[in-house]
Amino acid sequence: MIALIDYKAGNLTSVKKALATIGADVFVPESPGDLAEASGIIVPGVGHFGATRALDQSWIDAILARVGEGRPLFGICLGMQWLYEGSDEAPDCPGLGLFSGRCFRLGTVRLQPDRNIKVPHVGWNSLSIERRMSIVEGVQANAQVYFTHSYAAPRSGETVAITEHGGAFTAIVQRGQVAGVQFHPEKSGDVGLRILRNFLELVG
């Protein structure tokens, strides 16, 4: 059973609907202890990085404990950013630290400088796959997915796919059973559903 974390950062309805479409058995845990029953965890989210403060230390400990047991974890949009060490959007708010690096505002000096790009980055854009990992099984090169964000994660050796918007940023990341996507798979048609199915395959 997949635990879908609700920390009041965006509407869960579209994510739940997409997961129902692919036959996933989903529940929304009311407390960290409920995660003991989860075979996998999804952290969605839209908005400011500071919203992740709602996931206090008890939630963090429970999520990291499940990851330590080998249960898959998947972050969507803000949920993916939370997998990193932190974000310039809320410098005093730490992330989970499962991936190294900090998220940065699109169009800043950490990308190819471009002050003329539109931020937030909203709409369809293409994926450039750099590593063939399980999360992108069956996803075609240059597949189009739907984004809405102002901050992004840096490229690293764990980057699976990048997207260009004022420079390259990590669109998909994966290491073992932990993965994340900067875009919204629940709004990305068949490509997004395929990626969600791939996460279910990780869960087993």
Active-site residue, from 89, 121, 165, 186: 186
Tokens of 187: 């709004």
> For residue 175, which phi and psi values (nearest 5 degrees)?
-140, 115
Active-site residue, from 30, 77, 130, 165: 77
CA dist 191 and 136 (Å) reads 9
Annotated catalytic residue 184:
yes
Annotated catalytic residue 89:
no
- Give the contacts of 75 (CB within 8 A, at least 6 positions apart): 42, 43, 45, 81, 82, 83, 179, 180, 181
Distance of CA 137 to the CA centre of its chain: 17
Annotated catalytic residue 149:
no
Active-site residue, from 121, 149, 165, 184: 184
Cis peptide before 120 (omega within 30 of 0): yes
- Per the CB < 8 A criterion, the answer to whether 37 and 1 are in contact is yes
Q: Which residues are catalytic?
A: 77, 184, 186
